[in-house]
Amino acid sequence: MQHPMDKTKELSPASIEEKRLLARAFEAFNSSIEKLRAYQLKLEEQIRELKHELEVKNQELTNILQSLPSGLIVTDLAGRILNFNRSAGAITGIERDAAMGAEINALMGHAVLPHPLDDEALSLISNGYGQRFKITKDADTRTLETDTTLTVSEDGQRLGIIINLSDTTLIDRLKEEAERKRRLAAMGEIAMQVAHEVRNPLGSIELFVSMMKKDAAPGSDELEMIEHILGATRSMNHIISNLLEYTRPRPVELDLIDLHEILTDFVGFANHYANAQGVVISFLPEAENPRIQGNKELLKQVFLNIFMNACQAMEEESGGSFTIHTFSYVERDPLVLQRFQGRVLGPEGLQVLRIALRDTGKGMTEEVKRKLFDPFFTTREQGTGLGMSIVYKTIASHGGTILVHSELGSGSEFSLLFPQESDGG
């Protein structure tokens, strides 16, 4: 007889079928979970690939933007900088980290974008907006131009502002140099014709007045008048001689000379006049190689002309200082290198001997600096306006160039740059 506890409960066919269905449902569920996991892994892999592709594309775009030769600045609709490429930094001298997030007008110190940036201003930008302004970089004034436009979405929504920044200083200087040469050529022709026409009768006047002087009584009014006439005649002859010297196209004989020796002699000569004017001359000969191909007498005249101009600029200050500083270096600035005409320039730049002549005078306005080397331009009543023109022409005849930095109330600096061979030969 079987014990009641040993009895096994028999399952009905319906219960067995339900268990089979439930087991199959769990299997199907587990299979779906596995498939979902596989899909999830595949989706994650695709997301990683897309993210990588996006990073690569963004890096490529960044590289392109950074490699553009023109400056590119991207701002939001409030004028805050979102992107500032490498060329923009090179043009402005502003580091990218300092630019990012800054307001463009405050950063540049100029109204690069209209203010305020309201709908009217944004509409103006969308139709083409540009500015032209000057900045000071490395003690050099440069001219910048901007071309500004809006970025918009496909549905026309405004997204930001793109500013294309270009440095037009080189182009402006080339235009200025071309215009100056045109003026010099035209004025030189006229000056030569006038000088020849005037010099002949002037010589006759001086001859006849000298003859009259012999017959004039000593101490008489007649003799005094004759002396005035002779003085005026000699002054006119001096002006005409300068004109002919300026316009006469004669070759310059160049020899290997030591500029330190020439400047030492010049300082000794100029000190006599400087002491009387209350001007202190300082000479700092720091150039490693002071030899250039030059003409000793013409360069002495250049130094004298600049020195006399400096003394006249310091007259109102009752004296001052005049410093001569020489040094050698490799010039790499394209704005300066373009001035050395006829020189074959490599990527390493040009070996240069620089003579900086600084004074503590009253300085010059931008207008005076622009016309400084034009013939017949002068700010003095008794000046002929040829001294600085001859300086410019002489430096050019040596294959060099002259740079001027001056501000009102801060004195002036004339930098004479002469090309050298790397070995100093």
More confident of the two residues 305 and 318: 305
Picking from 63, 99, 94, the residue whose alpha carbon sits closest to that of residue 83 is: 99
Take residue 117 and report the two structure tokens written for it: 């940036």
Q: How confident is the model at residue 322 (pLDDT cuts 50, 70, 90)?
A: very high
Q: State whether the Cα torsion 136-137-140-146 is positive or negative.
A: negative
Each residue of 203-260: pLDDT tens digit?
778 777 788 888 778 878 888 888 888 887 877 777 677 666 666 656 678 889 999 9
More confident of the two residues 5 and 308: 308
Whole-angstrom distance, CA of residue 352 vs CA of residue 32: 79
- Residue 355 backbone dihedrals phi, psi, to 5 degrees: -115, 115
Q: What was the pLDDT predicted at 7?
A: 47
Cβ proximity of 143 and 95 under 8 Å? no
Q: What was the pLDDT predicted at 169?
A: 78
Whole-angstrom distance, CA of residue 24 vs CA of residue 42: 27
Q: What was the pLDDT predicted at 425?
A: 40
The angle subtended at Cα 362 by Cα 361 and Cα 364, nearest 5°, is 115
CA end-to-end distance (rounded Å), the chain: 131
Q: What was the pLDDT predicted at 346?
A: 59
Each residue of 362-389: pLDDT tens digit?
888 888 888 888 777 777 766 656 778 8
- Residue 17 backbone dihedrals phi, psi, to 5 degrees: -65, -40
Q: What was the pLDDT predicted at 365?
A: 86
Number of residues written out for the chain: 425
Residue with tokens 């892999």: 45
Cβ proximity of 323 and 358 under 8 Å? yes
Which DSSP symbol is given to 316? Answer: G
> How does DSSP assign 254-279, residue by residue?
-EEEEHHHHHHHHHHHHHHHHHHHTE
> 0.75 cut: is pTM over it?
no
Q: How confident is the model at residue 68 (pLDDT cuts 50, 70, 90)?
A: low
Picking from 307, 275, 195, 306, the residue whose alpha carbon sits closest to that of residue 240 is: 195
From 75-79, 104-108, 127-131, 240-244, the region with the lowest mean pLDDT: 240-244
Where does residue 293 rank: exposed (0-12), middle (13-18), buried (19+ CB within 10 A)? middle
- For β-strands 350-359 and 291-294, DSSP reports them as unpaired
More confident of the two residues 263 and 11: 263
- For β-strands 279-285 and 255-258, DSSP reports them as unpaired
Q: How confident is the model at residue 39 (pLDDT cuts 50, 70, 90)?
A: confident
Q: How do the residues of the chain divide into helix, strand and coil, expressed in percent and rounded to 5? A: 50, 25, 25
Separation in Å, CA 349 to CA 16, 338, 396: 95, 11, 19
Around 118, how many Cα atoms within 13 Å sit in the side-chain half-sphere?
3
Give residues with Cβ within 8 angstroms of 312, minimum separation 6. Answer: 361, 380
Beta strands in 91-218 (DSSP E): 129-137, 140-152, 158-167
Q: What was the pLDDT predicted at 262?
A: 93
Q: How many CB atoms lie within 10 A of CB 50?
A: 10
- By three-state DSSP, how is residue 406 classified? strand
Architecture of domain 70-167: 2-Layer Sandwich (3.30)
Q: How confident is the model at residue 283 (pLDDT cuts 50, 70, 90)?
A: very high
Q: How confident is the model at residue 93 (pLDDT cuts 50, 70, 90)?
A: confident
More confident of the two residues 239 and 416: 416
Q: What was the pLDDT predicted at 86?
A: 83
> How does DSSP assign 70-114, residue by residue?
SEEEEE-TTSBEEEE-HHHHHHH---HHHHTTSBHHHHHTS-SS-
Whole-angstrom distance, CA of residue 81 vs CA of residue 90: 16
- Which fold would CATH assign to domain 255-419? Heat Shock Protein 90 (3.30.565)
Query: Which amino acid is present at 31?
Result: S
Q: How confident is the model at residue 349 (pLDDT cuts 50, 70, 90)?
A: confident
More confident of the two residues 141 and 225: 225
Whole-angstrom distance, CA of residue 269 vs CA of residue 257: 19
Residue spans per domain, the chain: 15-66, 70-167, 182-247, 255-419
